Amino acid sequence: MSKWWRHGTIYQIYPRSFQDSDGDGIGDLRGIRRRIPYLAGLGVNAIWLSPIFQSPMADFGYDISDYRAIDPIFGDMADFDRLLEEAHDAGLKLLLDFVPNHTSDQHAWFLESRSSRDNPKRDWYIWCDPAPDGGPPNNWISNFGGPAWTLDEATGQYYYHAFLKQQPDLNWRNPELRRAMLDTLRFWLDKGVDGFRVDVIWHLIKDDKFRDNPPNPFYRPGQPDIDRNLQVHSADQEEVHEVIAEMRSVIDSYPERLLIGEIYLPVEKLMTYYGRSGEGVHLPFNFQLIQSPWQADALAKLIDDYEAALPEDGWPNWVLSNHDQPRIAARVGAAQARVATMLLLTLRGTPTLYYGDELAIGKVEIPPERIRDPWAANEPSAAFLRDSSRTPMQWDGSEHAGFSQSEPWLPLSGDWQQRNVDAAAADSDSMLAFTRKLLELRQKEDILQEGSYSLLFSRGSVLAFERKLEGEVIGVVLNLSAEPTEVDLPPQLAAGKLLIAAQDADAPQELARTVTLAGDQGLVIRAAKEEIRS
């Protein structure tokens, strides 16, 4: 249990929206630096920054034109070096976002690659001849809608892009490209970054014959375009695991670094990304809490299935929201978001907390003229509005919520004047105070870090489980509904001590065999030590 990331909590920052320092309405590195004391005080252990590299910003930094430069919007390399140093001084690890599947179409490599068919970098990207009718080489669809192939008129071939046409996919079958990309990892590791979250890692290798994807028999109109086909040949190919093993060996040549993979796949597939004997990523992001109905039985089953599917040395991890998904409070409401956060921070495995979720920022309405996400422009009806989850952090009650001196690039949540860090810090019952308490408890309780997980029961709206280490037990009892309900506690918990309640005002005065759980209530209980017979 020495590895920091096994007992730490990761905090995701979307840099455009965390803190602006130069008044352009867009967050930046100096802004993040200013908020290091906040992050250290919150009790998280690592920050992961969504991309900060040079980019035309077609997909807000997920289209990189230079992997080794900081985009001027965010600052410069000196700003980065200071951020890294100050984060480390504050005891925080720093993770970067590595986007190896595609570059920007403005990357020098792509400009070369498209310049002629026999350019030495031609094969660094994925070029194919047109189909006999002149159309795209196969039926692959972009994740942002429409064909995944764009014709380059000048050279008469199509290039593949799993996302925007401004994001051409790299060819990871090419050994030179591979070397160049692994060197990029070394560049940042040499600077001392603590690891990477790897963007769409399951996409890196595609079928070498570029076979058509089969149609999805369950597709219903209204779903995103990409769901028309099953992604059988365009992603999750066996050879991707070799590539990941190479990344992992670079990571492992430095002490204590972490490799996380962004992977949206069913659980059996997800598990293969740990590698056959641990040569995969340390943490394949587990998004199941995001995808599951918010019901006790469904959650109980998915947690059990996930625990059971983990390889022997595979360390679990959990995510509730991110910059691509609805915020947790937008999905289940602010009161239930406490229960969700209690779940996230008491499950076995590394939690990733999304900035602003500690304030329970909810659904932010984005007026049509302020929509920025390129996916929304492509697929207005099908796209979930990612902008809504990317709005600025709310620091205080001053103009623009203390985020910026000027109008932020995306609107603030409507209730920012009440829902901000300043206001929350003054309220011992706030979501912020509650999140801090949970993080503090997790930090000091080995049981929560290392203890085993077992389901106690799921009954009606209640999910109850225990964490156990060397005979010591912490129980967690969650009411996933807004309706109050009665619950029978096992004897050890009934005789235990309440550590944290999600709704303090409604917490049971005393624990007993039968307690009433208020709506949206959650209890973390230290079980009585001695074995108690019922």
Structure tokens at 360: 């329970």
Residue 355 interaction partner, one of ligand GLC, Mg ion, none, beta carbon < 5-8 Å per kind = none
Minimum CB distance to ligand GLC smaller for 163 or for 318: 163
Q: Does 324 bind ligand GLC (CB under 6 A)?
A: yes
Tell me how far apart the alpha carbons of residues 347 and 304 are, in angstroms, rounded to a whole number.
11
d(CA 211, CA 199): 24
- Is 48 near ligand GLC (CB under 6 A)? no
275 vs 246, 281, 284, 298, CA distance in Å? 11, 7, 10, 27
Q: Could you tell which of Mg ion, ligand GLC, none binds residue 270, using a CB distance below 5 to 8 A set by kind?
A: none
CA 253 – CA 372 distance, rounded (Å): 40
CA distances from 505 to 82, 167, 191, 216, 322 (A): 43, 51, 48, 49, 30
Please choose which of Mg ion, ligand GLC, none residue 403 contacts, taking the beta carbon within 5 to 8 angstroms, the exact cut-off set by kind: none
Give the one residue of 200, 258, 328, 340 binding ligand GLC; rule: CB under 6 A: 200
DSSP string computed for 163-222 = S-TTSPBB-TTSHHHHHHHHHHHHHHHHHT--EEEETTGGGS---TT-PPPPB-TT--BT
> Which range of residues in 25-33, 316-324, 374-382, 417-425 is near Mg ion by CB under 5 A?
25-33
Under DSSP, is residue 313 helix (H, G, I), strand (E, B) or coil?
Answer: coil
CB 451 within 8 A of CB 386: no
Closest CB 62 distance from ligand GLC, rounded Å: 3
Give the C-alpha separation, 453 to 343, whole Å: 12
> Could you tell me the two tokens for 194?
């603590």
Q: CB nearer to ligand GLC: give 319 or 462.
A: 319
Partner touching 24 among ligand GLC, Mg ion, none, CB below 5 to 8 Å by kind: Mg ion
- Residue of 163, 196, 306, 453 that binds ligand GLC (CB under 6 A): 163
We find the least distance from the C-beta atom of residue 282 to Mg ion, in angstroms, to be: 32
Residue 62 binds ligand GLC (CB under 6 A): yes
- What's the min distance (Å) between Cβ of 123 and Mg ion? 38
Q: Nearest to ligand GLC by Cβ — which residue?
A: 62
Interaction partner, residue 194 (ligand GLC, Mg ion, none; CB < 5-8 Å by kind) = none
Separation of alpha carbons 24 and 7, rounded Å: 37
Tally of CA atoms within 13 A in the half-sphere of 378 that contains its CB: 23
Pair of tokens at residue 420: 């901000």
Question: Considering all CA atoms of the chain, what is the largest pairwise distance in Å, rounded to the nearest integer?
Answer: 80
The string over 487-502, giving b where at least 16 C-beta atoms fall within 10 Å of a residue's C-beta and e elsewhere, is bebbebbbbbebbbbb
Q: Does 28 bind Mg ion (CB under 5 A)?
A: yes
Contact with Mg ion (CB under 5 A) among 26, 330, 376, 494: 26
Residue 200 contact, options ligand GLC, Mg ion, none, Cβ 5-8 Å cut-off depending on partner type: ligand GLC
CA-based nearest residue to 52, from 95, 11, 93, 109 = 95
Query: Minimum CB separation from ligand GLC for residue 9, in Å?
Result: 20
CA nearest neighbour of 259 among 286, 241, 282? 282
Residue 20's binding partner, choosing from Mg ion, ligand GLC, none, with beta-carbon cut-off 5 to 8 A by kind?
A: Mg ion
CA distance 502 to 430: 10
Residue nearer to ligand GLC on the CB measure, 259 or 477: 259
CB-wise, 383 or 423, nearer to ligand GLC?
383
Backbone angles phi, psi at 190, to 5 degrees: -60, -30
User: How crowded is the C-beta side of 222, counted as CA atoms within 13 Å?
Assistant: 2
Q: Which residue in the set 20, 59, 169, 387 belongs to the binding site for ligand GLC (CB under 6 A)?
A: 59
Closest CA to 518 of 476, 491, 486: 486
Q: Counting contacts by CB under 6 A, is residue 199 touching ligand GLC?
A: yes
Contact with Mg ion (CB under 5 A): which of 10, 19, 20, 163?
20
CB of 260 or CB of 344, closer to ligand GLC: 260
Q: Out of 24, 66, 396, 488, which residue is the one contacting Mg ion (CB under 5 A)?
A: 24
Restricted to residues 253-292, the positions that interact with ligand GLC (CB under 6 A) are 262
Using CB positions, name the residue nearest to Mg ion.
Answer: 28
Q: Which of 22, 66, 112, 415 binds Mg ion (CB under 5 A)?
A: 22
State the binding partner of 307 from Mg ion, ligand GLC, none, CB within 5 to 8 A by kind.
none
Q: Would you say 4 or 384 has its CB closer to ligand GLC?
A: 384
354 binds ligand GLC (CB under 6 A): no
The yes or no reply on residue 297 touching ligand GLC (CB under 6 A) is: no
Please report whether residue 106 would count as binding ligand GLC according to CB under 6 A.
no
Report in angstroms how near the CB of residue 159 gets to ligand GLC at its nearest. Answer: 16
- Shortest gap between Cβ of 84 and ligand GLC (angstroms)? 22
- Cβ distance to ligand GLC smaller for residue 11 or 434: 11
CA distance 511 to 534: 15
Contacts (Cβ under 8 Å, ≥6 apart) of 178: 172, 243, 246
List, by residue number, the catalytic residues: 199, 262
Number of neighbouring beta carbons within 10 Å of residue 99: 26
Query: Which residue stretch of 6-14, 18-26, 91-99, 289-297 sits at the interface with Mg ion (rule: CB under 5 A)?
Result: 18-26
Q: Contacts with Mg ion: how many residues (CB under 5 A)? A: 5
Residues 349-378 that bind Mg ion (CB under 5 A): none
Which residues 6+ apart lie within 8 Å of 30 measured at CB? 21, 22, 75, 79
> Contact residues for ligand GLC (CB under 6 A)?
59, 62, 99, 163, 199-200, 262, 323-324
User: Which residue ranges make up the site for Mg ion (CB under 5 A)?
Assistant: 20, 22, 24, 26, 28
